[in-house]
Amino acid sequence: MKTIEKNKIENINLHDLVENQDNPRSIEPQQMQKLVESILTFPKMLQMRPIVCNENRVILGGNMRFRALLNIEQMEDEAIKNAIETVAVKLTDGEKQQLCSHWEKWKAEPKVEVVIADSLSDEETDEFIIKDNVYFGSWDEEKLKGAFDVDDMQRWGLNPWEIQQEATTYEPAEDEEQRIIIVYRSEDAQAVADMLGLDAIEKRNFDVDELKEKTE
């Protein structure tokens, strides 16, 4: 019976890692922004799902998280604070401050917990790279809607069209705020701006009164 070797876990400087240039995954700018926000507001995920690299520190799993961390390292403290304020709406002011302090300290010495998969053969390495990005299951929409808040799921990166809300059974209160989510590719940004009467899409959230002023 073949013995399964246990991989080492090391705390490595971000700049000692090497992005895998043959990584078959890509990411759109708006998806990267979501990933950055996700890591900023929940850094413990980096320990629960660490980056995986080989003995030469080339990343086998987690290339997008690596890019996101590089982006975070370049962000000004004020930009990090604003992102946390915008996304982590359910956290207390104290918890938000803890996150800001965590990232301020991390940027001074940007290390990340990494699994060193030095026991994989070339064939196993190729298999891991693919399987690490394959999702075999599917969402149970009824359980999602019953157990999680829709706004939370959207902030966590679950695409809104994956949760089919039954509009016919939902009647909002008269004074309840409503929202429209527009999903578009980066190359369509100007077309969306023109549709809304804006010069450019400069931020993610617009109040209807603000849009009225811009179109008058």
* Strand partners of residue 214: none
For residue 78, what pLDDT band results from cuts at 50, 70 and 90?
Answer: very high
Six token digits for residue 61? 């799993």
Which pLDDT belongs to residue 69? 97
> Rounded distance, CA 19 to CA 60, Å?
8
For residue 168, what pLDDT band results from cuts at 50, 70 and 90?
Answer: very low
As a whole number, mean pLDDT of residues 66-94 equals 95
> Reading across the β-sheet that carries 51-53, which strands appear in turn?
8-13, 111-116, 51-53, 59-61
> Rounded distance, CA 58 to CA 18, Å?
5
> Rounded distance, CA 38 to CA 205, Å?
18
Q: What is the pLDDT of residues 9-57, one digit of tens each?
A: 999 999 999 999 888 888 889 889 999 999 999 999 999 999 999 999 9
Which pLDDT belongs to residue 215? 61
* Strand partners of residue 111: 13
pLDDT of residue 73 exceeding 70, the answer is: yes
> Rounded distance, CA 200 to CA 30, Å?
15
What pTM, to 2 d.p., does this model score? 0.67
As a whole number, mean pLDDT of residues 66-93 equals 94
Which pLDDT belongs to residue 101? 97
Q: Give me the torsion for CA of 184, 186, 21, 16, rounded to 10°.
A: -100
